[in-house]
Homo-oligomer: A and B are copies of this chain.
């Protein structure tokens, strides 16, 4: 079996965090801790969202009107702040997905020219 190794941390490029959060919330409203867990799981633990990045990001998204926040109780009776995507947030998500794809294509055209 392979030797245990560090969990291959991929540094987050600034600008991708909003995209990841919006996408996560497009599935269902979720609280901060849950968002971080969801991103970590789906990425196979490659992406680790720090709380010091997450909460400021959520504030930004709220200010821009892309998400709403509401205190609720978790299934385990814990008090948590649930964030939900607004219609504007959904449009923004589509826009950011497209921008990300274009950027990746552009960078690849330089890194791997035909």
Q: Which residues of B contact A3 (CB under 8 A)?
A: none
The answer to whether A19 and B102 touch across the interface, beta carbons within 8 angstroms, is no
Known: A46-B102, A102-B8, A102-B46. A110 touches B13 (CB 8 A): no
Residues of A contacting B: mostly: helix
Count this chain's copies in the assembly: 2
Interface size on A, residues (CB 8 A): 31
The answer to whether B15 and A107 touch across the interface, beta carbons within 8 angstroms, is no
Give the Cβ gap from A59 to chain B, nearest Cβ, in Å.
20
Instruction: Give the B-binding residues of A (Cβ under 8 A).
Output: 8, 10-16, 19-20, 23-24, 39, 42-44, 46-47, 97, 99-100, 102-107, 109-111, 113
